Structure 1
């Protein structure tokens, strides 16, 4: 996109970008892993247990014989 406009890319990222990138990554991961609106995406892999706070769900990994879920022990 920068080349299409005829400008060169910056040598360094702006300080605000350095601060906002980890915050955005955290918010996106939280949305995908806990929010109720994304529960249909997690449904094949998790089982609903109940609510966890005002905006989150408590889910556990589905158990299948011979398979382990990443991050579960």
Structure 2
């Protein structure tokens, strides 16, 4: 698991975070980084695809959306 608190002082806050999610689980990394780097009123754009072949695109999408809503 990344630890953005260890490198937060090296980067400034951003208006937008873009993430290309290609497997189950990376939405948690996006959320963690957003807590440390996203400006108030900023946005997150996530491209959710399934390239692993182990799960259907619909499954990957549904699980990541479920995580983000929590």
Q: TM-score range by the shorter chain?
A: under 0.3
Structure scoring higher RCO (CA < 8 A, sep ≥ 6) equals: 2
> What is the TM-score of this pair, normalised by structure 2?
0.20
Output the TM-score relative to the length of structure 1: 0.20
